[in-house]
A and B are shown apart, each in its own frame.
Chain A
Amino acid sequence: MKDKFKFDWLLLPLLGAAFVLIIWTATSATWAKGLPSPVKTWTGSKLYIEKPFEKRGEQDQGILRFTWYSLQMVIKGYLIALIVGTPIGFCLGLSKTFGKIFDPIIQILRPVSPLAWLPLGLILFQRPGPSALFTIALCAMWPTVLNTAVGVRAIPQDYLNVAKVLKLSRWKTLFKVMVPATLPYMFTGFRLSLGIAWLVIVAAEMLTGSPGVGGFLWQEYNSLIYEHIILCILTIGITGFILDKLMGLMEKRFKTA
């Protein structure tokens, strides 16, 4: 490879950003007049970024405040997904019979879109909050379930032999051998699940109108303030990116040789 110059880690991504800005400007200036230009987006969104936590009214709050609402919802749904998904994954991995019984159901439920689950949640729970949680948990669960199951099946026989020779009890075998051996797989699942939970929250908020970035986005679309739509998209993207990075760091820490 050629010599890299010093700041390429910063300059090259900036180059990419500049490229997108040019296309964006060109688009808004030519064939899509409804799309606000980058400058217009900035002036329109300035207030929300400079005072990110301010609450001016129910539907008019700083962007990070909205993000915080969304995050709270996501974390709740996500935790439900982990608490339900991990044991299911363990059962699937441990028992062939259990796997055979539930694998087809999982394969069928897994690709169903959050937009399809939400109405069902509304029927079940009557209120938007719990049904959004239901949707997030249900959609985000699958990577955790599947990765945990794969991880359990991949536990080396040697580790189990150690447990057998020492006559570890079932619980001790589970918590001292099987869970630690599966952790790296579980964390990969957790990471993917968080990504999905974040995807779902926006859809859920748009449909239920609960406060948050997704809800704000939908409301501003209806109020024809298109600058804020772009602001929301960027916020959603950056938050998702940061969440994924954080999970990546956690995943690394739990990586066993």
Chain B
Amino acid sequence: MPFLELKNVSKGYGAKDERTEVLRDINLQIEKGEFVAIVGYSGAGKTTLISLIAGLAKPDSGTLTLNDLEITEPGPDRGIVFQNYSLLPWLTVYENIYLAVDQVFPNWSAAKKQQHTDKYIAMVSLSPAREKRPAELSGGMRQRVSVARSLSIDPQILLLDEPLSALDALTRATLQDEIVRIWETDKKTVVLITNDVDEGLLMADRIIPLSAGPNATLGPSIQVDLPRPRDRKAINHNTRFQEIRREVIDYLLGTGARQRTTVTRKLFLPDIEPEDLSVPRNLFRKRPVRRQEIKTETMEIS
């Protein structure tokens, strides 16, 4: 009996006439302790799939079961790392995680809850940033808070929705290793959604392509039978790695070519920067800035 099972799940959005089927006939079985990666184009319906498993959305048809129980609503047995972190901006790192701990373990003593919260902050190496608010953190740090929060509630399964897509390559590599490390110690079941085939191959036990939407469906599930720990440089020369990679990409390209017509358009951005509406509007505020006047741009890399 699989741990998580999706049977003939379909989901669409919109009212009758302009209804589009996003996911069609999704069948998926995941065993306890498995690390499964699902790769797909952006807009294919990956977030929709995760929302269904999370219970935040209901399928139009088909059933989802976790541990033999039908998934009808969200709950803390499934830890989710949302695509956009979803931290509460008015709470500090500590408070964001404590909110979850406090809710899921109401019977613990205050000291135990605090200790537990701090343990997970330390696990993602954020102890120095404990009292910071999300706005003061880099993207990578926010993502780590989000991971710590979902792990702290000791979920049965961890759902990661493109957790690393928004990060720079360096941070991304660090966090990939960190997530795999956490998975190896905690032995949780993990579903990783990604748009990067290499990331899936580097991290997962099994990789499943999701065809391009609309009517996206899961392709053949491929076992990633590469020894761990996997070295991201050496793995590139592994023939088995190259084989699986080609298989997944061929599938994705095949469905993409079949279902997609591409339109190339040049986009013109207006030559003006968005204005900060929070600045008081008096006579002396700064005038709007033109893009061509901007000389430097700062980016943060953690």
* Interface check A167, CB cutoff 8 A: yes
Across-interface contacts of A159 in B (CB, < 8 A): 86, 88
Q: How far is the CB of A106 from chain B (nearest CB, A)?
A: 24
Complex interface bits, A241-257 against B, C-beta within 8 A gives 1, otherwise 0? 00000001000000111
Whether A257 contacts B103 by the Cβ 8 Å rule is no
The distance in angstroms between the C-alpha atoms of A201 and B149, with both chains bound, is 50
Residue of A nearest to B280 (CB): A248
The distance in angstroms between the C-alpha atoms of A172 and B99, with both chains bound, is 10
The distance in angstroms between the C-alpha atoms of A129 and B100, with both chains bound, is 49
* Interface check A120, CB cutoff 8 A: no
* Interface check B254, CB cutoff 8 A: no
Count chain A residues whose beta carbon lies closer than 8 angstroms to a beta carbon of B.
Answer: 19
* Interface check B278, CB cutoff 8 A: yes
The distance in angstroms between the C-alpha atoms of A183 and B91, with both chains bound, is 13
* Interface check B153, CB cutoff 8 A: yes
Residue of B nearest to A169 (CB): B103
Whether A158 contacts B86 by the Cβ 8 Å rule is yes
Q: Given A166-B99, A166-B103, are A158 and B84 neighbors across the interface (CB < 8 Å)?
A: yes
The distance in angstroms between the C-alpha atoms of A14 and B243, with both chains bound, is 78
The distance in angstroms between the C-alpha atoms of A164 and B58, with both chains bound, is 14
Across-interface contacts of B89 in A (CB, < 8 A): 256-257
Across-interface contacts of A165 in B (CB, < 8 A): 54, 56, 74-76, 78, 80
Across-interface contacts of B73 in A (CB, < 8 A): 164
Residue of A nearest to B78 (CB): A165
* Interface check A110, CB cutoff 8 A: no
* Interface check B82, CB cutoff 8 A: yes
Q: Given A159-B88, A248-B280, A257-B133, are A166 and B104 neighbors across the interface (CB < 8 Å)?
A: yes
* Interface check B135, CB cutoff 8 A: yes
Whether B82 contacts A176 by the Cβ 8 Å rule is no
Q: Which of A162, A168, A172, A180 contacts B90 (CB 8 A)?
A: A180
The distance in angstroms between the C-alpha atoms of A165 and B278, with both chains bound, is 31
Across-interface contacts of A167 in B (CB, < 8 A): 74-76, 103
Residue of A nearest to B54 (CB): A165
The distance in angstroms between the C-alpha atoms of A168 and B102, with both chains bound, is 10
* Interface check B134, CB cutoff 8 A: yes
Q: Given A158-B82, A162-B86, A180-B90, are A257 and B76 neighbors across the interface (CB < 8 Å)?
A: no
Q: How far is the CB of A102 from chain B (nearest CB, A)?
A: 27
Q: Which residues of A from 163 to 185 have beta carbons under 8 Å from B?
A: 164-168, 172, 176-177, 180-181, 183
Across-interface contacts of A166 in B (CB, < 8 A): 76, 99-100, 103-104, 153
* Interface check A30, CB cutoff 8 A: no
The distance in angstroms between the C-alpha atoms of A165 and B78, with both chains bound, is 8
Q: How far is the CB of A8 from chain B (nearest CB, A)?
A: 10
Across-interface contacts of A180 in B (CB, < 8 A): 88, 90
Complex interface bits, B61-73 against A, C-beta within 8 A gives 1, otherwise 0? 0000000000001
Whether B74 contacts A164 by the Cβ 8 Å rule is yes
Q: How far is the CB of A248 from chain B (nearest CB, A)?
A: 7
Across-interface contacts of A164 in B (CB, < 8 A): 56, 73-74
The distance in angstroms between the C-alpha atoms of A166 and B133, with both chains bound, is 20
Residue of B nearest to A180 (CB): B90
Across-interface contacts of B86 in A (CB, < 8 A): 158-159, 161-162
The distance in angstroms between the C-alpha atoms of A166 and B134, with both chains bound, is 19
Whether B135 contacts A257 by the Cβ 8 Å rule is yes
Query: Assuming A159-B88, A162-B86, A165-B80, what are 14 further A-B pairs, CB within 8 angstroms?
Result: A158-B86, A162-B82, A164-B56, A164-B73, A165-B56, A165-B75, A166-B76, A166-B103, A166-B104, A166-B153, A167-B103, A183-B90, A255-B278, A257-B135
The 6 closest A-B pairs by CB, nearest first: A257-B135, A158-B86, A257-B89, A256-B90, A180-B90, A164-B74
Subset of 12 A-B contacts with CB under 8 Å: A158-B82, A161-B82, A162-B86, A165-B78, A166-B76, A166-B153, A167-B74, A168-B103, A177-B88, A180-B90, A255-B278, A257-B135
Query: Which B residues fall within an 8 A CB radius of A?
Result: 54, 56, 73-76, 78, 80, 82, 84, 86, 88-90, 99-100, 103-104, 133-135, 153, 278, 280
